[in-house]
Structure formats: structure tokens, C-alpha cells
């Protein structure tokens, strides 16, 4: 009923709007009185944690994209090599696992068979398995060595939204905690990043205030045959997630690409009028932002209709953006938290206008319990 959905037409739409709260809840109680980050759930001594020489993340679907973001964060802050692997592929490639490997299984439902089989394989090789999960007492946490619960609350819509954002939060917390224990040179930044994370719920409210603008954009692209998504760095998994949402909900052909890879093939797909959603990195000391702008120029020169997600105050983009959605200014590693939300709104609205059942898309299940 509408009451269950808080007056929204879909659970998905309700869950998109619950994201500020879900993120805030997932950050509660993490700072010790001395200012240090606490993450006792990992259940490894500092000594054991310092011995970890590799992290492998296994997950499926949207959770896999959270893992891709985690790789950027963990490698940058902790200087530990990270592999991210689709759970369904993992054990079949005979992965190298030791007791010094930390395996992180990300699963909203905790029941995904592919992910479950992956952790069984990892534990048989005596690696430490940490689950990041939203469902208390589900199978994956029960079969893991440790579990870090996300606090999204029950997610009903088949396409994950608040589950994804809270997975990102859990991944950032894990990354910061590893950096703290390892004492990397980023150790001093931990308190700053926690402050920035605590500002995210407020930022999300501002993104959600632009919903009508995003819905209008979505409605304008109802007839599209195919939609491309471009991103770089932590924005690359966001592009992949934006494309997945359109496939899942609107049954539209959509592809996400790393913007730098465009010229190596995908640019051949660009046709006149094709919508291309671009996740523009924040302006920073690196060249990511400027390289992204040149990618956007290239697709636009070939007729693409560019819909750019760019931070407030970034005026360099306005000349190349046919449509513009503003994002709050946050560091590049945290940008997925704010950048994915317009893409969720876009897919939800497009699918609604096309007359599809957004909460229960054809051929999909909320959790896939067969391999
Ligand atoms: C299914 C859902 C996806 C989800 C994936 C992984 O395919 O349709 O939305 O991302 O499973 O689910 P999990 O519960 O393991 O995160």
C-alpha cells in the first residue's frame, strides 16, 4: 500500500529517499572517546591486521560495484593491494588465498549463492572472511569469521539503492580502520574523512531536492535505444552502477565505461542524440577532472547528448553539458555516495514512465539463491 511506501509509488523511490538516514545510521558510534575509529567487528588483533598482505573483495551486482569503490579507497589509504572479483568467477580461477589474505564478502541480502560459495572456498584456504551485510543472521554472515552490518533497514525494491550507499560507508570505514591500524601516512586524515562522511547525509538531502529536475531529464530520454555512462576513478564504478540500474529497471541497453577507455573502442558507439551520462570528478590536484572534460568534448563532438553530474562551482563543464545536475563538493573517493543518487532517480523515473514495475523487474530476484 501507499502507506507502507510512505506515500511513494515504489519501494525503490521510498528507499532512495531514506538514504540520508541510512548513511547516518551506518556511521553511528564509530568514534571512540579518544577520537579513534572503532571497528571491533573485524575481530582481528592489530597484530594480525598488520600481517594482512592482500584484500580480496567478492560480490555480485550492485554490491560488486561497492567493492570496486572500496578498492580505490583501501589501496589509497592503506597501501594494501586489493582485488575485486565477481563472486561467480572467484573460486573457478583457483585464486591465491593464504591466512594473510583478508576476504571481504559484500552482500545486502546475505543469501546470494555465488557469494556464499566464494566465502566457503576462501575459508577452506584459511583466509579470514569478513562479511559486509544488511541482513541480520543471514547465511553469509553466519558462515563468515566476522561481520560488519550495514544499517539500511529492510530493502524491498529489487534494485539496490540504500543498500549500496551503506555498503560504501562500511567499505570506507573498513579502509580507514586498516589505515589506522597500519599507521600509514594517511592516519592523520582519518578524523577529517570521518567528518566528511558525517556531512554526507546533509549533502544527500541537497541532491534529493533536485529530484524534479532529474525526473524531467529522465522523461526526455524515454525513446532512447541505448544510454552510455562515463566515469573515472571512483566515478567509474558509479557509471557501471548507473548503467546497471537502467538495464534492470527500464530494460534499456546501457553501458558504463571508464572515460579514458572511450578512445580505445566505445566511442564508436556514439551516435547523434545518444544520451551520455558523465560523472565528472571533483576538481583537484590530479588531472582527472580535465581529462574527463576532454572525454566529454569528444563524445559531444560526435553528436552525444551529454548529461553531466558535476560539483557545484565547476563552471568549466557548462560549455559541454547539454544538461547539468549539480553535486555537492566532496573528495573524489567519497563522490560515489552523492553521484549515484541522481542515477538512481533517473532510472526509477525512466522505468516508471515506460510503465514497468520498478520494484519487481522482469526476470530478476531480490536475492539469487542458486549459482
Ligand atoms: C541480485 C539483485 C541485485 C543485487 C545482487 C547482489 O541480482 O537483483 O540488485 O545487487 O543480487 O545481491 P546481494 O544481496 O548479494 O548484495
CA of 174 to the centre of ligand 1 (A): 21
Mean pLDDT of 292-321: 97
Give tens-digit pLDDT for 325-366. 999 999 999 999 999 999 999 999 999 999 999 999 999 989
Lowest mean pLDDT among 105-114, 185-194, 267-276, 314-323: 185-194
pLDDT of residue 186: 74
pLDDT of residue 271: 94
Q: Which atom of ligand 1 is nearest to the CA of 87?
A: 15
63 lines ligand 1 (CB under 6 A): yes
115 lines ligand 1 (CB under 6 A): yes
pLDDT of residue 69: 98
Q: What is the 3-state secondary structure (H, E, C) of 124-180?
A: HCCCEEEEEECCCCCHHHHCCCEEEECCCCCCCCCCCCHHHHHHHHHHHHHHHHHHH
pLDDT of residue 63: 98
Q: 286 falls in which pLDDT band (50, 70, 90)?
A: confident
Compute the distance between CA of residue 345 and CA of residue 211 in angstroms, rounded to an integer. Answer: 7
Mean pLDDT of 233-250: 98
Whether residue 188 is predicted with pLDDT greater than 90 in this model: the reply is: no
Mutate which of 15, 16, 61 for ligand 1 pocket (most atoms within 8 A of beta carbon): 61
Q: Which residue CA neighbors atom 4 of ligand 1 most closely?
A: 61
C-alpha cell at 16: 532512495
pLDDT of residue 9: 95
Q: 259 falls in which pLDDT band (50, 70, 90)?
A: very high
CA of 184 to the centre of ligand 1 (A): 34
Enumerate residues 6+ apart whose C-beta is below 8 A from 203: 328, 330, 337, 338
Mean pLDDT of 109-116: 98
- How deeply is 43 buried, as exposed, middle or buried, from its count of CB atoms within 10 A (0-12, 13-18, 19+)? middle
Give tens-digit pLDDT for 24-35. 999 999 999 988
Q: 194 falls in which pLDDT band (50, 70, 90)?
A: very high
Compute the distance between CA of residue 252 and CA of residue 231 in angstroms, rounded to an integer. Answer: 19
Mean pLDDT of 65-70: 98
pLDDT of residue 285: 79
pLDDT of residue 231: 98
167 lines ligand 1 (CB under 6 A): no
**Percent above pLDDT 70 for the chain:** 99
Q: Which residue CA neighbors atom 13 of ligand 1 most closely?
A: 107
Whether residue 156 is predicted with pLDDT greater than 80 in this model: the reply is: yes
pLDDT of residue 299: 97
Give tens-digit pLDDT for 172-183. 999 999 999 998
Q: What is the ipTM of this complex?
A: 0.96
Mean pLDDT of 41-67: 97
Whether residue 3 is predicted with pLDDT greater than 80 in this model: the reply is: no
Mutate which of 12, 60, 240 for ligand 1 pocket (most atoms within 8 A of beta carbon): 60
60 lines ligand 1 (CB under 6 A): yes
pLDDT of residue 295: 96
Mutate which of 67, 84, 112, 167 for ligand 1 pocket (most atoms within 8 A of beta carbon): 112
Nearest to 190 by CA among 216, 167, 211, 172: 172
Whether residue 222 is predicted with pLDDT greater than 80 in this model: the reply is: yes
134 lines ligand 1 (CB under 6 A): no
Which amino acids are annotated catalytic?
366
CA of 45 to the centre of ligand 1 (A): 31
CA of 110 to the centre of ligand 1 (A): 9
Q: Which stretches of 19-153 are assigned E, i.e. beta strand? A: 54-59, 82-86, 101-107, 128-133, 146-149
Amino acid at each position: 500500500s501507499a502507506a507502507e511506501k510512505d506515500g511513494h509509488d515504489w519501494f525503490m523511490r521510498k528507499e532512495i529517499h531514506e538514504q540520508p538516514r541510512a548513511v547516518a545510521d551506518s556511521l553511528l558510534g564509530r568514534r571512540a572517546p579518544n577520537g579513534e575509529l572503532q571497528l571491533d567487528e573485524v575481530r582481528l588483533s592489530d597484530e594480525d591486521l598488520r600481517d594482512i598482505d592482500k584484500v580480496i573483495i567478492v560480490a555480485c551486482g550492485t554490491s560488486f560495484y561497492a567493492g570496486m569503490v572500496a578498492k580505490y579507497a583501501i589501496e589509497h589509504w592503506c597501501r594494501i593491494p586489493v582485488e575485486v572479483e565477481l563472486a561467480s568467477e572467484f573460486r573457478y580461477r583457483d585464486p591465491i588465498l593464504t591466512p594473510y589474505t583478508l576476504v571481504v564478502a559484500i552482500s545486502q541480502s546475505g543469501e546470494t549463492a555465488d557469494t556464499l560459495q566464494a566465502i566457503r572456498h576462501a575459508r577452506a584456504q584459511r583466509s579470514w572472511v569478513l562479511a559486509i551485510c544488511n541482513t541480520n543472521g543471514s547465511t553469509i554472515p553466519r558462515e563468515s569469521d566476522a561481520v560488519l552490518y550495514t544499517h539500511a533497514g529492510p530493502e524491498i525494491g529489487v534494485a539496490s539503492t540504500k543498500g549500496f550507499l551503506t555498503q560504501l560507508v562500511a567499505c570506507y570505514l573498513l579502509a580507514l580502520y586498516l589505515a589506522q591500524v597500519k599507521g600509514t601516512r594517511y592516519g592523520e586524515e582519518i578524523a577529517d574523512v570521518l567528518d566528511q562522511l558525517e556531512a554526507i547525509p546533509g549533502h544527500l538531502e541537497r541532491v534529493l531536492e533536485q529530484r524534479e529536475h532529474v525526473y524531467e531529464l529522465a522523461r526526455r530520454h524515454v525513446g532512447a535505444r541505448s544510454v552510455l555512462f562515463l566515469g573515472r576513478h571512483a566515478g567509474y564504478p558509479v557509471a557501471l552502477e548507473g548503467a546497471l540500474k537502467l538495464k534492470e529497471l527500464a530494460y534499456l541497453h546501457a553501458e558504463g565505461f571508464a572515460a579514458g577507455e572511450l578512445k580505445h573502442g566505445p566511442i564508436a558507439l556514439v551516435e547523434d542524440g545518444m544520451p551520455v551520462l558523465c560523472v565528472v570528478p571533483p576538481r583537484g590536484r590530479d588531472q582527472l577532472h580535465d581529462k574527463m572534460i576532454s572525454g566529454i568534448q569528444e563524445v559531444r563532438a560526435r553528436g552525444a547528448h551529454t548529461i553531466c553530474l558535476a560539483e557545484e562551482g565547476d563552471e568549466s563543464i557548462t560549455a559541454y553539458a547539454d544538461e547539468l545536475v549539480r553535486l555537492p563538493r566532496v573528495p573524489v573517493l567519497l563522490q560515489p555516495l552523492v553521484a549515484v543518487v541522481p542515477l538512481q532517480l533517473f532510472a526509477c523515473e525512466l522505468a516508471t514512465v515506460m510503465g514497468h514495475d520498478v520494484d519487481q523487474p522482469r526476470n530478476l530476484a531480490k536475492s539469487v539463491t542458486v549459482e
